[in-house]
Amino acid sequence: MSSLGRFTLPYHPSLPFIFATMPKRSNEFQELVSLIQKALAPSDATVTDSALVGEDSREIDILIDGKFGHFQMKVAVEAKDEKRKMDLVKFESIIGKYFSEGGIKVNKVVVVTRAGFYNPVKERAKLLGIDLMTLQEAKTTNWHRFSNASLSFKVQPHICGLDFTPPISRLDSQRLWNEATMLCPHGQNHGSAMKRAAGEVFGRWFPKNLDMFNNAVQQIQNEHDGAGHIHITMPHNGWSVVFHGKKHQITSMTARLHIVSASADINSTEYELCSEDGTTKRFQKIQATAGGKKLTFLLPETPHVPEKIILNIEDAISEAKKDRDRRRKTLARHQKNSKNNS
């Protein structure tokens, strides 16, 4: 049995931007190129119609290439001028064009069609971060929003805790999870509780419940700050947990699966350090809050040297929590003063 638990709570400038391939464009689609050029004119971005990229000269219907802030961005636009909505088969060919191994590398993909998209396409696009538009929506959208550099912060799903039914009360839960042994009804030792849970979750549950997992990740991205938990309950009737020589009979074990899949706009500031001998060194400070974490990067002029990139990760405290803490402290202070005055 699997159940979704209570949800609590990733710059990856290479998210694609698509409009589907089309053999012949109407005047309206041709006008779209001019519209994008005018919209992005202040940023000095280059907008190329029918751009050929790579050694094999693959075509992108519209390629936007420019420096936005400190970052070089590429947006691929593929336009589909058809009377019918785009189905999943045609959409998968676009995904392969940009997301497969050896695919075209761009920073954003948006697909534009005349008639729109079927629901399975919308769901697939949402998971991949692909923007979908009708032609009319493309004419009125703010194209500058695609030039905002963003950071993607993702952590591989991992088990952060275990619960047993009936409960096993221990103050040192970490030791219980990692040192207790699991005995099946036949008395065979199946290793630690954490090892058993990992085998069940990643070996058996995942292959059978990928759709449920993807839906949970999407819900976390949409309704939370990009980090949350899924509770996966596994029946264990007749099993025992042995810890410090004591045997505990259980009927089920629940794994708390921690998921982080968040994104946020980044703030970038450029600094210059001056040494005593007069030499200067420039670097960028990049900050973003995603998945409940505050991420700070310090990038030198040569960020391709990985050992020179400094990354700091700390827990982020939301403004709402700060406000609650301030009100709580103020109330406590007033109550203390009232008590003293009386």
Report DSSP letters for 243-311, one per residue: ETTEEEEEEEEEEEEEEEEEEEE-EEEEEEEE-TTS-EEEEEEEEEEETTEEEEEEEES-TT-GGG-EE
Over 80: is that where the pLDDT of 330 sits?
A: no
Over residues 193-202, the mean pLDDT reads: 92
- Residue of 329, 332, 183 lying closest to 248 (CA atoms): 183
**285 in Cβ contact with 268 (< 8 Å):** yes
The confidence score (pLDDT) of residue 183 equals 95
Question: How far is residue 282 from each of residues 37, 71, 155, 279, 285, measured CA to CA in Å?
Answer: 32, 15, 31, 10, 10
Edge to edge, the sheet with strand 46-53 lists 46-53, 58-68, 71-80, 108-113, 131-134
Residues 6+ positions from 316 with CB-CB distance below 8 Å: 289, 292, 293, 294
Question: Is 87's pLDDT higher than 90?
Answer: yes
Residue 120 pLDDT greater than 60, yes or no: yes
Local confidence band at 185 (pLDDT 50, 70, 90 cut-offs): very high
Rounded CA separation 221/211 (Å): 15
The predicted model gives 154-182 an average pLDDT of 87
Q: What pLDDT is attached to residue 187? A: 92
Q: Are 104 and 59 in contact (CB under 8 A)?
A: no
pLDDT value at residue 302 = 52
Q: CA-to-CA distance for 313 and 294, rounded, in angstroms?
A: 6
70, 268 Cβ separation under 8 angstroms: yes
Question: Coil, helix or strand for 44?
Answer: coil
pLDDT > 70 in the chain, percent: 69
pLDDT for 240 equals: 95
Helix (H) or strand (E) holding 69: none
pLDDT, averaged across the chain: 77
pLDDT in tens, 10-27: 333 343 333 333 345 556
The structure tokens listed for 120 are: 């399975």
d(Cα 17, Cα 54) in Å, to the nearest integer? 17
User: Which amino acid is present at 47?
Assistant: V
**What's the pLDDT score for residue 132?**
92
**Could you tell me which of 333, 288, 336 has the C-alpha nearest to residue 313?**
288
Residue 300: band (very low, low, confident or very high) from pLDDT cuts 50, 70, 90: low
Confidence of residue 9 (pLDDT cuts 50, 70, 90): very low
- Which range has the top average pLDDT, 3-7, 16-20, 119-123, 141-145? 119-123
Residue 103 vs residue 297, higher pLDDT = 103
- N-term to C-term CA, the chain: 58
Looking at per-residue pLDDT, the higher value among 71 and 158 belongs to: 158
pLDDT at 117: 94
Q: How far apart are CA 110 and CA 27, in angstroms?
A: 20
**Of 17 and 168, the one with more pLDDT:** 168
- One-letter amino acid for residue 161 of the chain: G
User: Residue 50 above 60 pLDDT?
Assistant: yes
The 10 Å Cβ neighbour count of residue 169 is: 9
The whole-number pLDDT of residue 292 equals: 72
Kindly report, residue by residue over 236-290, the tens digit of the pLDDT: 999 999 998 899 999 999 999 988 877 766 666 667 777 777 777 767 676 777 6
Rg of the chain on CA atoms, in Å: 26
* Among candidate residues 284, 288, 286, the one with its CA nearest the CA of residue 265: 288
What is the spatial distance between Cα 41 and Cα 39, in angstroms, rounded to a whole number? 6
Task: Out of 76-90, 97-111, 203-217, 300-314, pick the least confident.
Answer: 300-314
- Encode pLDDT of 125-167 as tens digits: 888 888 899 988 888 887 766 655 566 677 778 899 999 999 9
